[in-house]
């Protein structure tokens, strides 16, 4: 690849390392490592929340899906995510922050144990988070390998190892503090690059009307907001990606890190607007590249996922190309850093505490767990493809269905019980896994276009409310502080 | 029955309809109940505010109505043709224009609504 692109990518990685060095010096306690010392301001928290939600899949895969099928992916996910930020702030913003004030509350396990007075719920939440983290990390490792291979020409394994070494460097030392400040840097890159490349892509495509006319002449669906995607899929995505956002652990744990309640005020708008701006890259390149392809001015692709990298190498300067590549790395690494710290906290805090095991020197064990998770996910992603594919199904839908009812509805509704929580977490995990595995092996149980995560999410909400109503005799007396926090 | 209980049961009913939509493959059964769920989610966030001033119910109700109008308009517009007609609005087909200039920004307006309701609550607390 062009030397300018390589230099920009190296500078980007170097800045991440420097942030890691700074954060390592600041990280002295478990609280610093897991919740950034509960000292984040609005902008850092909101951009970190946006960065952790906008993944490599959203940028690279989203552009490919827009290229191949038009706006349908964005009509579902792109619209739903900013709405998801708003709904999450409304649903749990103040509630999570206030619960975080009730003692040493660092993880979702801490939150649910305080809410339900149950170690079982803590353990189940820890299990759901751990499975999801390993699955997510495996796919991020593979994506990192591909991008590093594109930039430096090394093999995907070596590329992934370089990327992971850098990610590991800043996460092991600086924990979530390094994570959120690299997320801030990475989030700003994503937004700036996306806005810039959007106008450039429209210009290359000949303007909005020219792009629309080309797409319409080829297939009117490509000039519609749904593209060639099924309306059922779009409706499922809207439901799952906006309502289900409040069930994403890497997002909602950020509320525990905020300095004071006032910092919440502009967070939803900052995160939502940043996400909206970052999707401009996907729309701009996806539609413009397809319009050029229709005119015969765009190279043939072996896979739609190549649309973004082919566009930047053929139609932009090396400086812009380098910035876009840095933006892609940013999307992958910011999601990876959030997950690795989250996984470490589940392994060293939530699961042991569920079995009454007290971990001494938690900070050290968290650092060891980060290394362990990175090594395991690397080994899985390169040597146990089937296992990664199986764990890879534990994604957004699993988190939404396993975590949303127990945490979000549990913090709103006094009648929620521990049995309702455990039932909804287990049903959410099992249903997602079974339906995804069945679909993978050709056993189709749902109508075409229906997103499995949306089915599991709706079922887990139904199970949570129904089981809670059936087990009211087990409902615990809530103390005044918790009731105040639950009022929002 | 408390107000929150009523909201939870309404949410349960709407999610059951959504579930029926997913197993029958009917997107309208998934989307339209969910637009009401959006209002309930906002209401959960401003419950304290609404208890002090019940007229604040207009906030979630308005969001639900605007969403239903926009999606119903899009639904009707695209019955015969996915583009919603042959005209161009700012270079976009009518259906695309409605989505990009109407439905998409509304999500960001709801984010702004959070900041606005937050200010109102601060004023009330002071």
- Report yes or no: B25 at the A interface, CB cutoff 8 Å: yes
Nearest to B12 among A449, A454, A465 (CB): A465
CB atoms inside a 10 Å sphere around CB A238: 26
Q: Which one of B118, B121, B125 makes the best mutation probe of the A interface by having the most chain A beta carbons within 10 Å?
A: B118
pLDDT of residue A161 exceeding 90:
no
What pLDDT score was predicted for residue A233?
94
Instruction: Please give the share of chain A, as a percent, with pLDDT higher than 90.
Output: 57
What pLDDT score was predicted for residue A392?
53
For B32, which residue in chain A has the nearest alpha carbon? A235
pLDDT band at A83, cuts 50/70/90? very high
Residue A26 lies in a domain: yes
The tokens of A295 are what?
């005119």
The structural domain count of chain A equals 1
Number of residue pairs across A and B with CB atoms under 8 Å? 185
- Report yes or no: A236 at the B interface, CB cutoff 8 Å: yes
CB atoms inside a 10 Å sphere around CB B76: 10
Q: Do B99 and A75 touch (CB under 8 A)?
A: yes
Question: Any bridge partners for residue B89, and if so which?
Answer: B92
CA distance A65 to A203: 21
| Matching residue, tokens 């990009």 | B100
What pLDDT score was predicted for residue A302?
84
Under 8 Å between Cβ of A308 and A285: yes
The tokens of A177 are what?
């503090």
What pLDDT score was predicted for residue A218?
94
Question: Pick the residue with more confidence: B15 or B123?
Answer: B15
How buried is A181 (Cβ within 10 angstroms: 0-12 exposed, 13-18 middle, 19+ buried)?
Answer: buried
Rounded to the nearest 5°, which phi and psi values hold at A415?
-80, 0
User: Mean pLDDT over residues A72-81, rounded?
Assistant: 91
pLDDT of residue A142 exceeding 80:
no
Under 8 Å between Cβ of A333 and A130: no
CATH number at residue A251: 1.20.1730.10
Question: Any bridge partners for residue A132, and if so which?
Answer: none
Q: Do B91 and A220 touch (CB under 8 A)?
A: no
Containing structural domain, residue A50: 3-383
Residue A270 lies in a domain: yes
pLDDT of residue A291 exceeding 60:
yes
pLDDT of residue A391 exceeding 60:
no
CB atoms inside a 10 Å sphere around CB A445: 12
For B116, which residue in chain A has the nearest alpha carbon? A265
Angle (deg, nearest 10), helices B104-125 and B58-77: 180
pLDDT band at B126, cuts 50/70/90? low
pLDDT of residue A413 exceeding 90:
yes
pLDDT of residue A387 exceeding 60:
no
Q: Do A225 and B99 touch (CB under 8 A)?
A: yes
User: Mean pLDDT over residues A385-406, rounded?
Assistant: 76
Q: Do A238 and B34 touch (CB under 8 A)?
A: yes
pLDDT of residue B4 exceeding 60:
yes
Residue A476 lies in a domain: no
Closest CA to A26 of A155, A179, A164, A136: A179
Closest CA to A49 of A241, A193, A237, A183: A183
| Matching residue, tokens 């001015």 | A297
- Report yes or no: B114 at the A interface, CB cutoff 8 Å: yes
CB atoms inside a 10 Å sphere around CB A382: 17
Mean pLDDT of chain B: 93
What distance in Å separates residue A488's CA from the closest CA in chain B? 7
What distance in Å separates residue A265's CA from the closest CA in chain B? 5
Closest CA to B93 of B101, B26, B21: B101
Closest CA to A212 of A282, A102, A287: A287
Tens-place pLDDT, residues A176-213: 898 899 889 888 988 999 999 999 999 999 999 999 99
Q: Do A235 and B114 touch (CB under 8 A)?
A: no
Residues of B in contact with A212 (CB under 8 A): 88, 91-93, 96
| Most confidently modeled range among A441-445, A473-477, B78-82, B118-122 | B78-82
What are the residues whose beta carbons fall under 8 Å from the beta carbon of B65, sequence distance 6 or more?
Answer: none
What pLDDT score was predicted for residue A388?
52
Mean pLDDT of chain A: 90
pLDDT of residue A221 exceeding 70:
yes
Closest CA to B107 of A80, A122, A326, A388: A80
- Report yes or no: A445 at the B interface, CB cutoff 8 Å: no
Residues of A in contact with B83 (CB under 8 A): 216, 220, 223-224
Residues of B in contact with A452 (CB under 8 A): none
What distance in Å separates residue A119's CA from the closest CA in chain B? 25
Q: Do A238 and B114 touch (CB under 8 A)?
A: no
Q: Which one of B1, B5, B8 makes the best mutation probe of the A interface by having the most chain A beta carbons within 10 Å?
A: B8
CA distance A429 to A292: 43
What is the sign, positive or negative, of the torsion defined by CA atoms of A283, A88, A254, A45? positive
Q: For the stretch A218-237, what's the b/e string if a residue is b when 16 or more beta carbons lie within 10 angstroms of its beta carbon? A: ebbbbbbbbbebbbbbbbbb
Closest CA to B19 of B34, B6, B2: B34
User: Mean pLDDT over residues A339-350, rounded?
Assistant: 91
Under 8 Å between Cβ of A146 and A156: yes
Tens-place pLDDT, residues B49-105: 898 888 889 999 999 999 999 999 999 999 999 999 889 999 999 999 999 999 999
What pLDDT score was predicted for residue A334?
78
What pLDDT score was predicted for residue B32?
97
Residue A472 lies in a domain: no
- Report yes or no: A238 at the B interface, CB cutoff 8 Å: yes
What distance in Å separates residue B60's CA from the closest CA in chain A? 11
Nearest to B114 among A86, A225, A409 (CB): A86
CA distance A181 to B121: 30
Residue A23 lies in a domain: yes
Q: Do B5 and A415 touch (CB under 8 A)?
A: yes
CA distance A132 to B96: 35
Q: Cα A163 to the chain's mean position, in Å?
A: 18
Residues of B in contact with A238 (CB under 8 A): 31, 34
pLDDT band at A61, cuts 50/70/90? confident
What pLDDT score was predicted for residue A12?
86
With a CB-CB cutoff of 8 Å, which residues 174-233 of chain A face chain B? 207-212, 216, 220-221, 223-226, 230-232
Tens-place pLDDT, residues A11-25: 988 898 888 889 999
Under 8 Å between Cβ of A454 and A241: no
């Amino acid at each position: 690849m062009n030397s300018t692109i390589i230099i920009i990518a190296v500078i980007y990685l170097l800045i991440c390392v420097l942030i890691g060095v700074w954060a390592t010096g600041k990280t002295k306690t478990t609280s610093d490592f897991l919740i950034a010392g509960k000292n984040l301001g609005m902008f850092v928290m909101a951009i970190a929340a946006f960065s952790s939600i906008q993944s490599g899949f959203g940028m690279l895969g989203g552009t490919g899906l827009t290229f191949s099928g038009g706006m349908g992916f964005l009509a579902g996910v792109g619209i739903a995510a900013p709405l998801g930020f708003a709904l999450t702030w409304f649903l749990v913003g103040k509630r999570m922050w206030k619960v975080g004030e009730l003692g040493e509350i660092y993880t979702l396990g801490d939150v649910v144990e305080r809410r339900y007075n149950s170690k079982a719920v803590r353990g189940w939440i820890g299990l759901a988070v751990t499975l999801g983290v390993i699955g997510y990390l495996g796919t991020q490792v593979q994506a990192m390998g591909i991008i590093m291979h594109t930039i430096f020409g090394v093999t995907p394994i070596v590329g992934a190892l370089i990327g992971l070494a850098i990610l590991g460097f800043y996460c092991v030392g600086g924990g979530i503090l390094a994570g959120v400040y690299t997320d801030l840097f990475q989030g700003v890159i994503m937004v700036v690059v996306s806005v810039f490349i959007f106008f450039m892509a429209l210009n290359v495509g000949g303007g909005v009307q020219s792009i629309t006319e080309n797409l319409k002449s080829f297939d009117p669906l490509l000039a519609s907001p749904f593209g060639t995607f099924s309306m059922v899929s779009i409706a499922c995505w809207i439901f799952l990606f906006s309502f289900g956002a409040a069930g994403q652990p890497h997002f909602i744990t950020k509320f525990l890190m905020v300095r004071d309640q006032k910092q919440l005020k502009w967070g939803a708008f900052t995160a939502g607007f940043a996400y909206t701006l970052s999707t401009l890259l996907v729309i701009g390149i996806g539609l413009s590249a397809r319009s050029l392809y229709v005119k015969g001015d765009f190279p043939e692709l072996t896979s739609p996922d190549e649309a973004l990298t082919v566009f930047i190498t053929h139609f932009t300067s090396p400086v812009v190309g380098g910035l876009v590549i840095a933006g892609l790395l940013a999307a992958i690494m910011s999601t990876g850093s959030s997950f690795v710290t989250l996984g470490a906290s589940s392994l060293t805090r939530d699961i042991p505490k569920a079995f009454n095991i007290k971990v001494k020197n938690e900070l050290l064990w968290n650092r060891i767990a980060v290394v362990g998770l990175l090594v395991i996910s690397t080994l899985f992603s390169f040597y146990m493809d089937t296992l990664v594919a199986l764990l890879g199904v534990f994604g957004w839908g699993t988190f939404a269905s396993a975590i949303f009812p127990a945490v979000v509805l549990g913090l709103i509704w006094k009648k929620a019980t521990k049995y309702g929580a455990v039932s909804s977490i287990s049903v959410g995990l099992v249903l997602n896994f079974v339906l995804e595995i069945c679909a993978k092996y050709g056993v189709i149980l749902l109508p075409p276009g229906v997103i499995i995560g949306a089915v599991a999410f709706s079922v887990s909400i139904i199970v949570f409310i129904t089981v809670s109503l059936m087990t009211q005799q087990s409902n615990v007396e809530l103390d005044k502080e918790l009731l105040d926090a639950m009022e929002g | 029955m408390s107000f929150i209980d009523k909201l939870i049961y309404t949410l349960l009913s709407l999610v059951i309809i959504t579930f029926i939509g997913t197993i029958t493959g009917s997107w309208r059964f998934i989307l339209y109940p969910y637009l009401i769920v959006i209002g309930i989610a906002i209401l959960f966030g401003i419950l304290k505010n609404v208890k002090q001033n019940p007229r604040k119910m207009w906030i979630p109700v308005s969001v639900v109505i605007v969403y239903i109008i926009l999606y119903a308009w899009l639904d009707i517009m695209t019955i015969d043709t996915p583009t919603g007609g042959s005209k161009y609005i700012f270079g976009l087909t009518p259906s695309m224009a409605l989505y990009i200039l109407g439905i998409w920004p509304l999500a960001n307006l709801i984010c702004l609504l959070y900041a606005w309701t937050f200010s109102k609550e601060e004023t009330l607390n002071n």
